[in-house]
Amino acid sequence: MLLALGALFHWLPLWRRENQYFGVTTPAGFERTPEGRRALRRFRIWLWLGTAVAIMLTAAATEAGWRPLAPAGTLVQTITVIAAFAVVHRQLTPYAIEPQPRTASLDPDRERLPGGLAAAMIPVAILAAAAIYVATHWELLPDRIPVHWGLDGRPNGWADRTPRGVAGPLVVGFMLWGVMLGSAIAILKGSPRPSGESADWTRRFRRANLRLLMALVWTMPLLFAGIAVRPVFEAQSITIPVWLITVAPLVAILAYTIPIIRLSRETGSGGDSTPDRCWYWGQFYYNRADPALMVEKRFGVGYTLNFANPVSWLFLAIPVAVVFGVRWLR
Amino acid sequence: MPGPTIRIDPRAQAPAYRQVVDQIRTLIVEGALGPGAELPSVRRLATDLGVHFNTVAEAYRTLAEGGWLEVSHGRAARVRERSSAPKLEKQTERRFRERLRHLVAEMRAEGFTAAQIADELAAAASHRGGSL
């Protein structure tokens, strides 16, 4: 897992707009200059050193049976990556160029969610139908209900046959539906629309991100509805393989993420026109003068929050609620 | 086909709201925004330009006061139909002549010849766009 993440971080700095490099607005092709190459090399050396330490920590924690220390490896790797990016970002600041002036279309806002907002309510109906189905077949439920599985397909987390335990997966599915739909709406309404020289690239990037989120709006509730009804089906000798339940979100994530990565490697994407001085460590956007809630990421593909917008803190609170939801489920 | 666009230059001397006013008025005068054309909401345009809501609200208000836009609460701002050009007053004429003098002096200082300036002014006056 840590190795796979290491490989992802190895390439991540190259998946960005053409005029953005380590969170700095630079001329196109800067990554091919000696300074650009040196910067990437430095980042990768720190990344792999951090990953090596993380792997050793995890191995030692597993060997000694210190379960609470197991996530320390992931934490070390994440902190190393954030710090390495921030250091390289600071070193590249002298090479920054002025961002392009912001442009805006005077067309009225007629952009819609892929598939439409009304269709996005159907997954909630599926969750509700699953809840009704489970409630009406309560007596078929076993005393312990599997709610989490390992990579080998064997259950490693259970909930009791109580209203809370049974409804847990459905509640988590509903919360994830809300997070995904909320993020899509935030991008649609709270991020700058495509305009200017790279409008075509921005339009395609924006649509690709919206399509990914809407795919998750559909598949996440399906996944959790499947988990909720599975024990009732099994009691009636109908087995739903776990891989079948989990494959839908995985396929959706892969199928819709690959086009975004491809776009991030295209030329002609220009810069994002946000001021460099508002990007702390090259990764966190804080601009009081900008009313945008979401802006394109400078490290990684997709969108990030403008932390100066008070609504962004509400957005941060939602994933915390989901995490607590998962704990409550257990 | 994409509609007209405006841009904010943070290095320009004019404040952001003035840049919005000038560019929208130019688009209306040149016919790129016709009577009845709907403009984006204050929130939408501010988000697209990366400026405070008040900046765009102030620009829309100024344009409405000048008779260029129709702005009412809860409805999209629209370009107003202007039946006839307002009567030109002597004082206004003097004010614009003075602004033109300064602009021409600035262009001469930047290396424009008198013929080039005349050509650019004629092109701008007939909405053709110049060679710049």
Indicate if ipTM > 0.95: no
A98 to B11: CB separation less than 8 angstroms, yes or no:
yes
B50 to A108: CB separation less than 8 angstroms, yes or no:
no
Least confident of A138-142, A237-241, A313-317: A237-241
Find chain A residues with C-beta within 8 A of B6's C-beta: 103-104, 106
pLDDT above 70 for B132: no
- In terms of pLDDT, which residue wins out, B86 or A146? A146
Q: Tell whether B5 is within 8 A of chain A (Cβ).
A: yes
A102 to B3: CB separation less than 8 angstroms, yes or no:
no
A101 to B38: CB separation less than 8 angstroms, yes or no:
no
Of A25, A318, A67, the C-alpha closest to A181 is A318
Arithmetic mean of pLDDT over chain A: 89
The model's pLDDT over B76-106, given as tens digits with 9 standing for 90+, comes to 899 998 766 667 778 888 888 888 999 999 9
B4 to A289: CB separation less than 8 angstroms, yes or no:
no
Rounded CA gap, B11 and B8, in Å?
9
Q: Among A105, A106, A288, which would you mutate to test the B interface (most chain B Cβ atoms within 10 Å of its Cβ)?
A: A106
> What predicted TM-score, i.e. pTM, was given to this entire model?
0.84
Inter-chain CB pairs, A–B, below 8 Å: 84
Which of A41-55, A145-159, B5-19 has the largest mean confidence? A41-55
CB-nearest to B8 from A101, A109, A292 is: A101
* Structure confidence at residue B129 (pLDDT): 47
Q: Tell whether B46 is within 8 A of chain A (Cβ).
A: yes
Q: Please give the distance of CA A239 from its chain centroid, rounded to a whole number.
A: 31
Structure letter (DSSP) for residue B8: E
Find chain A residues with C-beta within 8 A of B76's C-beta: 108
* Structure confidence at residue B52 (pLDDT): 92
pLDDT above 70 for B26: yes
H or E segment to which residue B78 belongs: strand B78-79
Q: What is the 3-state secondary structure (H, E, C) of chain A?
A: CHHHHHHHHHHHHHCCCCCEECCEECCCCHHHCHHHHHHHHHHHHHHHHHHHHHHHHHHHHHHHCCHHHCCHHHHHHHHHHHHHHHHHHHHHHHHCCCCCCEEEECCCCCCCCCCCCCHHHHHHHHHHHHHHHHHHCHHHCCCEEEEEECCCCCEEEEEECCHHHHHHHHHHHHHHHHHHHHHHHHHHHHCCCCCCCCHHHHHHHHHHHHHHHHHHHHHHHHHHHHHHHHHHHHHCCCCCCHHHHHHHHHHHHHHHHHHHHHHHCCCCCCCCCCCHHHEECCCEECCCCCCCCEEECCCCCCEEEECCCHHHHHHHHHHHHHHHHHHHHC
Chain B closest-CA separation from residue A120 CA (Å): 23
* Structure confidence at residue B13 (pLDDT): 86
The model's pLDDT over B46-58, given as tens digits with 9 standing for 90+, comes to 999 999 999 999 9
A291 to B4: CB separation less than 8 angstroms, yes or no:
no
Q: Tell whether B52 is within 8 A of chain A (Cβ).
A: yes
* Structure confidence at residue A316 (pLDDT): 85
B48 to A101: CB separation less than 8 angstroms, yes or no:
no
A106 to B50: CB separation less than 8 angstroms, yes or no:
no
User: What's the start-to-end Cα distance of chain A, in Å?
Assistant: 24
B3 to A195: CB separation less than 8 angstroms, yes or no:
no
Q: Please give the distance of CA A254 from its chain centroid, rounded to a whole number.
A: 12
The model's pLDDT over A72-94, given as tens digits with 9 standing for 90+, comes to 888 999 999 999 999 999 999 99
The model's pLDDT over A252-279, given as tens digits with 9 standing for 90+, comes to 888 999 999 999 988 888 888 899 999 9
pLDDT above 90: percentage of residues in chain A: 57
Tokens 């599915």, located at residue = A173
Nearest Cα residue in chain B from A288: B52
Q: For residue A150, how many C-alpha atoms fall within 13 Å in the half-sphere facing its CB? A: 4
